[in-house]
A = this chain, B = another copy of it.
Amino acid sequence: MLSEFSLIDRFFARRASALPHPQGAALGIGDDCALLAPPAGEMLAISTDMLVEGRHFFPDVDPKALGHKALAVNLSDLAAMGAKPQAFTLAFSLPKADADWLSAFSDGLFELAGRQGCELVGGDTTSGPLNLCITVFGSVPPQAALRRDAAQPGDDIWVSGTLGDARASLGVQRGEWTADATDAATFRRAMEWPEPRIALGLALRGIARAALDVSDGLAGDLMHILERSQVNASVDADALPRSDALRRLPADVQRRCTIAGGDDYELCFTAPSTLREAVVAAGQQARVPVTRIGTITAPDPAGAVSTAAPMIVWHDASGAPLTLTLQGFDHFHAE
C-alpha cells in the first residue's frame, strides 16, 4: 500500500513539476500554501466543484475520462466567466491507493491541464469513499467578466455546441431508451469527455453580457441568469442545437434531453442583438458553433421591477407556446 505522501509525489507532484509553468505560481506543491497572483489589473476567478461516485459518475468509469472530466467541469466555470485558466488544486478521497487507477486518472487530468495551461499548485489526498474536489483559478479583468446579472431585455440568448447528448447517454445506460452502438458511443463521449469552452469564453469578452455554463440542464440554469438579472426570457425549444445522434431519438426524448438534461458544459449567454455578427465570429474564432435560441424580455409588461419569480416562455418553431414541467437537474431530488 502506498503512503499518502508517496502517492501524491508519484502521481501528481512529479507530473505537475514536469509541466511547463506558463502562469508562474511563486510557490506550488510542497508547502503549506501555494502562492498565486493574477496579472496586474486582473482578478482571480475562483470556482470549486465536487464529484461523487454514484452521483456524478459510475463506479466503473474510465479513470482517464474521470480525470479529464473532474477538471473540465471546473474549467467550464472559468469559461462561463470569460476567465483564462491559471492554476488548480485537487483534493480527493480514495478507497484504496491503486497505482493503475491513479496513473490513468492523472493522465486524463494532466492532458487537459497541459492543454489549457492550468498548473496544479496544491492538493490533499485521504482514504475514504471516492470523492474529487477541484478548485480552479483563472484570471480576468473585472470589467470583462461575464457575470450572471448582466442580461438586458432585448438581448439574444445563445448556446454553444449541442445540448442533451450527456443526458441521452444516461438514458441509454438506464434503459430509458435505446440507441445503436455508434450513437450510444457519441452520447457516452459527450458525457465522459466534455470540452470546456475556454476559447469561446475569452472570445466573448466585450461581446456577451451575461453567461453561465449549462451543467444542470438549460431550463434550470437559464433561470439563474434571469433571477440575477431580474428579467424574463422567451426560448424556441425547437432551436436548441442537438447532435445528429440525438435527432435519431424520439422527439419527446430530444426535448427532455436538450431542455433539462444536465452535464452539457456548454455556455449559455446573452448578447445585444446588434452584435450577432460578432458572436458568430467569436464562435468561429473558438471553433465552436453558436446558436441563437431566444430573447431576454422585460420583467413585466408595465416595465416595473417585478418581485415575482422570473419566467421562461417556451415555444416551438411555429411560435406556439409549450407547457413544460421539466426541472433542472437537482442533486437532492430523485429524477
Binds B, one of A44-52, A231-239, A281-289: A44-52
A219 is an interface residue with CB less than 8 A from chain B:
no
A125 is an interface residue with CB less than 8 A from chain B:
yes
Contact residues in B for A50 (Cβ distance below 8 Å): 91-93, 124-126, 131, 133
Q: Find out whether the CB atom of B35 lies under 8 angstroms from the CB atom of A126.
A: no
Binds B, one of A134-142, A182-190, A250-258: A134-142
Q: Find out whether the CB atom of A35 lies under 8 angstroms from the CB atom of B26.
A: no
Q: Find out whether the CB atom of A44 lies under 8 angstroms from the CB atom of B52.
A: no
A50-B126, A145-B35 in contact; A30/B77 too (CB < 8 A)? Answer: no
Binds B, one of A168-176, A298-306, A316-324, A326-334: A326-334
A5 is an interface residue with CB less than 8 A from chain B:
yes
Partner of A91, one of B26, B34, B49, B213: B49
Interface size on A, residues (CB 8 A): 71
Contact residues in B for A131 (Cβ distance below 8 Å): 50, 52, 93, 128-129, 131, 133
Among residues of B, the one whose C-beta sits closest to the C-beta of A267 is: B32
- Which of A78, A81, A131 gathers the greatest number of chain B CB atoms within 10 Å? A131
Q: Find out whether the CB atom of B81 lies under 8 angstroms from the CB atom of A33.
A: yes
Nearest chain B CB to A311's CB is how many angstroms away? 17
Contact residues in B for A124 (Cβ distance below 8 Å): 48-50, 133
Q: Find out whether the CB atom of A34 lies under 8 angstroms from the CB atom of B47.
A: yes
A80 is an interface residue with CB less than 8 A from chain B:
yes
Partner of A45, one of B4, B35, B54, B145: B35
Among residues of B, the one whose C-beta sits closest to the C-beta of A149 is: B31
Q: Find out whether the CB atom of A48 lies under 8 angstroms from the CB atom of B212.
A: no
A179 is an interface residue with CB less than 8 A from chain B:
no
Contact residues in B for A126 (Cβ distance below 8 Å): 50, 52, 55-56, 331
Nearest chain B CB to A231's CB is how many angstroms away? 16
Q: Find out whether the CB atom of A35 lies under 8 angstroms from the CB atom of B43.
A: yes
Q: Find out whether the CB atom of A44 lies under 8 angstroms from the CB atom of B54.
A: no
Contact residues in B for A69 (Cβ distance below 8 Å): none
Partner of A27, one of B123, B133, B147: B147
A148 is an interface residue with CB less than 8 A from chain B:
yes
A5-B330, A133-B91 in contact; A123/B33 too (CB < 8 A)? Answer: no
Q: Find out whether the CB atom of B43 lies under 8 angstroms from the CB atom of A36.
A: yes
A36 to B83, CA, bound (A): 12
17 interchain pairs, CB-CB under 8 A: A3-B333, A31-B149, A31-B212, A32-B45, A32-B211, A34-B45, A37-B42, A46-B121, A48-B89, A49-B91, A49-B124, A50-B92, A55-B126, A91-B133, A128-B129, A129-B129, A133-B133
Nearest 5 A/B pairs, CB to CB? A52-B128, A133-B133, A33-B45, A50-B91, A32-B80
Q: A30-B148, A56-B126 are in contact. List 16 more A-B contacts (CB 8 A).
A: A4-B330, A32-B78, A32-B81, A32-B148, A33-B47, A35-B43, A35-B46, A46-B122, A48-B122, A48-B135, A50-B131, A52-B129, A91-B135, A125-B331, A129-B129, A131-B133
